[in-house]
Amino acid sequence: MEDKKSPVEKGAHNCKWAEPTLFEPAPEWLEAEDKPWTCHRDAVPKHLETTEVCEDCPRWEQRDETGQVKPKV
């Protein structure tokens, strides 16, 4: 039997460019309740109200194998 991989679900939770808004520096993290994810793919970070935009993003890249999101130091 051949092992088939399931297609990767594209979303903020597994994109290497997305981080929880709660990890952003003050005062940006205050928007975390309404915009829980922030995309860092472009020069200016973009707070995301929904992660539906990630599903169709042509620049989406899978997070590394650890899947860890680390707070900025």
Q: pLDDT tens track of the chain, all 73 residues?
A: 555 666 778 999 999 999 999 999 999 999 999 999 999 999 999 999 999 999 999 999 998 877 666 555 4
Q: Report the pLDDT value the prediction gives residue 2, as an integer from 0 to 100.
A: 57
Q: Report the pLDDT value the prediction gives residue 20, as an integer from 0 to 100.
A: 95
pTM value surpassing 0.85: no
Which of 1, 13, 12 lies closest to 57, judged by CA? 12
CB atoms within 10 A of CB 24: 20
Alpha helices in the chain (DSSP H): 52-55
With tokens 């650890």, the residue in question is 66
* Alpha carbons 8 and 66: distance in angstroms, whole number: 15
Domain residue spans of the chain:
12-55
Q: Report the pLDDT value the prediction gives residue 39, as an integer from 0 to 100.
A: 96
Q: Report the pLDDT value the prediction gives residue 27, as an integer from 0 to 100.
A: 94
Q: Report the pLDDT value the prediction gives residue 9, as an integer from 0 to 100.
A: 87
